[in-house]
């Protein structure tokens, strides 16, 4: 693959089967991209095979045209003569001329509700329940989908890879494991052909449209459209381009607004067609993607910016002033932070000790030690634990617990519901209701001298002299 300075693909070669039967192998796609003066691709030329992979049309003019918002409105390779969009830049009518058309209806927030193809097929989307021509086809469960089956229900389970692609579907056939479908993909989402292509009748053909990224591939009108609906945008997996500009493109000015997953679909996910997120690895760790920062961590993890800054600075490095004079997070692609978000009566962010065994410089605290002095009672729920932490703090509002961000809690308490050990820190995202004399907040501004700072990649940056505002808590009775 090749790229221009904006991250637009300029060339791509795929090797694969050159016929449906998978009897011939070679250069399936050899693509060359031609752009306008910006990021809009005008033409894709294919000197490989047109039988599989990207299908290069017979036209001699530009392949693509766009409207004033940067939305694709003509695709001559697919035979699309016009595309009409609503105020959210969502396609409402895709016209294939004499071949037919596809019409879409959306809710006010852009959620797709209905799709009607001119051949008479009507698909309705009802919060995870999928109907086709007024008949329920399937609905989701956490490990796959459930479909009607002769007056009962059949559970189909799915295996997904690290970026959410549905690779294998299987079900129980009278005590025997039955493979329903297997999917293997090229990196940008095109399905590989020529092997393991059998599809069992025990699955649901409508549900099997959900493939790459766990999203629906539109096969209406015999696959004329051949794109994936990611929610905010439509994705062409063979041309490796979006139909539309990223709605959050202003947050990623270094990247083409039409690229998929920063051109790295093996590592990054794009769950809704907008700016990629910090990846929640499901084990208390989060992995940064291109453009991520403490601010995006706060948004993606549902915590405050203050907590996110403390997590990033304690685990990845201090914030610094960039060349543009703005405060920057020392976050690079692939960086990992670890913390837990515990929600009870109070929401807490728990950061484990690096060693996993080293105790903090405060004593271990038995969660039975509540404000009224009752001791040696272990917490039975995580919610009870958070209440007790708040009670301890309020019992000594100006003491070490308050001033040191309650460095007493570890992840183990929420998993084993015992005493708290082995913690680096815990940060409240919400303040408990005071039980003692109310407090008022005041601030002071402190100067920070200019200095050189070395980033993790070895690059040195000059941190300009600046001031930092810090909060002080004072008791009203003072």
The verdict on residue 422 lying in a domain is yes
Report the pLDDT value the prediction gives residue 46, as an integer from 0 to 100.
92
259, 7 in Cβ contact below 8 A?
Answer: yes
Instruction: Judge if 87 and 233 occupy the same domain.
Output: yes
Instruction: Judge if 347 and 465 occupy the same domain.
Output: no
Q: Of all helices (H) and strands (E), which one includes residue 452?
A: strand 451-454
Instruction: Judge if 76 and 131 occupy the same domain.
Output: yes
Instruction: Judge if 37 and 139 occupy the same domain.
Output: yes
Report the pLDDT value the prediction gives residue 410, as an integer from 0 to 100.
36
Q: What's the structural domain count of the chain?
A: 3
Instruction: Judge if 198 and 219 occupy the same domain.
Output: yes
Instruction: Judge if 69 and 167 occupy the same domain.
Output: yes
Task: Report the phi/psi class of residue 307: left, alpha or beta, with left for phi > 0 and alpha for psi in -120 to 50.
Answer: alpha
The verdict on residue 293 lying in a domain is no
The verdict on residue 269 lying in a domain is no
The verdict on residue 272 lying in a domain is no
The verdict on residue 386 lying in a domain is yes
Instruction: Examine the fold and report which residue of 205, 232, 249 is the final residue of a domain before the chain moves on.
Output: 249
- Rounded to whole angstroms, the maximal C-alpha distance in the chain is 86
Structural domain for 412, as ranges:
339-428
Instruction: Examine the fold and report which residue of 216, 249, 282 is the final residue of a domain before the chain moves on.
Output: 249
Instruction: Judge if 111 and 180 occupy the same domain.
Output: yes
CB atoms within 10 A of CB 92: 14
* Spatial separation of the C-alpha atoms in residues 426 and 290, rounded to whole Å: 27
Instruction: Judge if 374 and 447 occupy the same domain.
Output: no
463, 450 in Cβ contact below 8 A?
Answer: yes
Instruction: Judge if 210 and 70 occupy the same domain.
Output: yes
The verdict on residue 295 lying in a domain is no
Instruction: Examine the fold and report which residue of 189, 223, 249 is the final residue of a domain before the chain moves on.
Output: 249
Report the pLDDT value the prediction gives residue 295, as an integer from 0 to 100.
81
204 token code pair:
């649901």
* Spatial separation of the C-alpha atoms in residues 121 and 151, rounded to whole Å: 24
* Spatial separation of the C-alpha atoms in residues 436 and 398, rounded to whole Å: 11
3 token code pair:
């790229």
Q: What is the DSSP string of 185-225?
A: B-TTSPBP-SSS----TTS-TTGGGB-GGG-EEE-HHHHTS
The verdict on residue 256 lying in a domain is no
User: What pTM was estimated for this model as a whole?
Assistant: 0.63
Report the pLDDT value the prediction gives residue 466, as an integer from 0 to 100.
61
Instruction: Judge if 418 and 458 occupy the same domain.
Output: no
Q: Chain-centre distance of CA 395, in angstroms?
A: 41
Instruction: Judge if 394 and 461 occupy the same domain.
Output: no
Using DSSP's 3-state secondary structure scheme, residue 73 falls into strand
Instruction: Judge if 422 and 446 occupy the same domain.
Output: no
Q: What is the DSSP string of 224-248?
A: TS-EEE-SSSEEETTTTEESS--TT
Cα 386 to Cα 10, 159, 383, 394: the distances in Å are 54, 36, 5, 12
The verdict on residue 420 lying in a domain is yes
Mean pLDDT by 10 residues, the chain (478 residues): 92 88 86 94 90 83 94 94 95 95 94 95 95 97 94 95 90 93 93 82 93 92 89 93 87 81 80 73 79 80 83 86 75 80 50 38 32 35 45 45 37 36 36 37 60 61 60 40
């Amino acid at each position: 693959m090749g790229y221009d300075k904006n991250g637009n693909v300029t060339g791509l070669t795929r090797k694969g089967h050159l016929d449906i039967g998978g009897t011939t192998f070679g250069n399936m796609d050899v693509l060359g991209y031609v752009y306008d003066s910006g990021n809009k691709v005008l033409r894709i030329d294919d000197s490989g095979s047109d039988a599989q992979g990207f299908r290069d049309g017979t036209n001699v003019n530009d392949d693509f045209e766009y409207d004033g918002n940067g939305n694709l409105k003509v695709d001559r390779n697919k035979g699309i003569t016009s595309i009409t969009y609503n105020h959210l830049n969502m396609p409402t009518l895709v016209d294939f001329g004499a071949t037919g058309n596809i019409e879409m209806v959306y809710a006010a927030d852009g959620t797709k509700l209905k799709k009607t193809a001119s051949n008479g097929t009507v698909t309705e989307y009802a919060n995870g329940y999928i109907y086709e021509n007024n008949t329920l086809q399937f609905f989701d469960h956490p490990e796959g989908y459930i479909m009607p089956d002769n007056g009962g229900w059949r559970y189909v389970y799915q295996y997904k890879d690290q970026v959410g692609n549905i690779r294998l579907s299987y079900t129980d056939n009278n005590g025997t494991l039955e493979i329903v479908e297997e999917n293997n993909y090229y990196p940008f989402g095109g399905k590989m052909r020529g092997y393991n292509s059998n599809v069992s009748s025990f699955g649901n053909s409508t549900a099997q449209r959900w493939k790459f990224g766990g999203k629906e591939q539109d096969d209406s009108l015999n696959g004329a459209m051949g794109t994936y609906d990611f929610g905010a945008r439509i994705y062409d997996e063979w041309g490796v381009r979006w139909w539309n500009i990223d709605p959050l493109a202003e947050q990623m000015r270094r990247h083409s607004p039409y690229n998929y997953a920063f051109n790295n679909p093996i590592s990054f996910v794009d769950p809704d067609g907008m700016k990629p997120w910090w990846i929640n690895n499901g084990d208390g760790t989060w992995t940064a993607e291109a453009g991520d920062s403490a601010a995006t961590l706060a948004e993606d993890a549902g915590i405050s910016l203050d907590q996110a800054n403390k997590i990033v600075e304690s685990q990845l490095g201090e914030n610094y002033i960039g060349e543009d004079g703005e405060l920057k997070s020392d976050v690079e692609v692939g960086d990992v932070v670890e913390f837990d978000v515990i929600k009870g009566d109070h929401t807490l962010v728990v950061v484990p000790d690096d060693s996993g065994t080293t105790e903090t410089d405060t004593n271990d605290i038995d969660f039975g030690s509540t404000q009224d002095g009752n001791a040696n009672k272990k917490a039975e729920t995580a919610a009870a634990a958070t209440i007790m932490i708040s009670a301890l703090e309020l019992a000594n509002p100006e003491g070490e617990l308050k001033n040191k961000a309650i460095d007493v809690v570890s992840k183990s308490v929420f998993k084993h519901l015992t005493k708290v050990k082995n913690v680096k820190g815990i940060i409240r995202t919400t303040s408990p209701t005071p039980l003692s004399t109310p407090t008022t907040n005041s601030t002071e501004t402190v100067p920070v001298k200019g200095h050189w700072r070395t980033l993790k990649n070895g690059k040195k940056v000059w941190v300009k002299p600046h001031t930092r505002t810090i909060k002080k808590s004072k008791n009203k009775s003072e």
